[in-house]
Amino acid sequence: MTSRVALLESAVMASPMRSGRQEQGFTYLGALLLVAIVGAGLAAAGTVWSHAHQRRKETELIWIGHQFTQAIGLYYQRSPGAVKRYPEKLEDLLEDRRYPAPQRYLRKLYADPITGKPNWELVPAPEGGIMGVQSVSAAKSIRVMKSGATYSSWRFVYEPPVAVVK
């Protein structure tokens, strides 16, 4: 009988299942911890990428806004005659037919980089025409401009210089 009990005890002690269960728990916890760390890293990387992408769009919006401002300024300054005029529509900046040879102030009508569409809100001039553009997006901006915290408050306007009389 003792040999039978000894044989049974040695079988229980040498069982591969018993030692494997203890190690599997630690491996499982290690795998869960690794998944959590990788997930947190990917979330942080996604946030940084999104922020950088929005900054690029803002930089592009500023560049395009300045292109419109310069084009409107040239259209206004090169008005024939004594009375200066603003363009009636944005297409006038593509081809100004007030001269025998058409003048071009923009190569194309740029799309708003924030919305991805060429639907700009036009800023009317006091004398008539268009003196500027602004985005129609109500999204919050990263950069805080003087005029506000949403893209729709970023105005790109040409204002003629005022003569100083002494």
Say if 100 falls within a structural domain.
yes
pTM > 0.75: no
What pLDDT was estimated at residue 108? 93
What pLDDT was estimated at residue 121? 93
C-alpha dihedral (144, 147, 150, 152), degrees to nearest 10: -140
DSSP state of 91: G
Say if 72 falls within a structural domain.
yes
pLDDT band at 151 (very low <50, low <70, confident <90, very high): confident
18-68, pLDDT tens digit by residue?
554 555 678 888 889 999 999 998 888 888 888 888 889 999 999 999 999
Summary mean pLDDT of the chain: 84
Asked if 132 contacts 86 with a C-beta cutoff of 8 angstroms, the reply is no
Say if 128 falls within a structural domain.
yes
Say if 34 falls within a structural domain.
no
Domain with 121, as residue range(s), is 58-157
Amino acid identity for residue 70 in this structure = Q
66-93, pLDDT tens digit by residue?
999 999 999 999 988 888 999 999 999 9
91-146, pLDDT tens digit by residue?
999 998 888 888 999 999 999 999 989 889 999 999 899 999 999 988 888 876 55
Say if 79 falls within a structural domain.
yes
Say if 83 falls within a structural domain.
yes
Domain count, the chain: 1
What pLDDT was estimated at residue 158? 94
Q: Looking at the predicted structure, is the pLDDT value of residue 3 above 90?
A: no
Asked if 114 contacts 121 with a C-beta cutoff of 8 angstroms, the reply is no
